[in-house]
Amino acid sequence: MKNYQVEVVYKMPNGSQAKVSIHVTASSASDAERQARGRVTGTVISTRAKEMK
């Protein structure tokens, strides 16, 4: 398991766009992105995972 910082850009229920950085522990970058998607309320536009050193 590795630590990842995932940047999520999403559209909030009120229509405005937001960007949040979430730290997760996952086995891969795609798993980290999947976990981060589950933590935001709204429509996810994009995710980008970066492994923490």
pLDDT tens digits along 5-35 = 999 999 998 999 999 999 999 999 999 999 9
- In this prediction, residue 39 carries a pLDDT of 94
In the predicted structure, residue 53 carries a pLDDT above the cut 90: no
- 34-44 burial by CB neighbour count: b if 16+ within 10 A, else e? ebbeeebeeee
DSSP 8-28: EEEE-TTS-EEEEEEEEEESS
8 A C-beta contact, residue 49 and residue 29: yes
pTM: 0.86
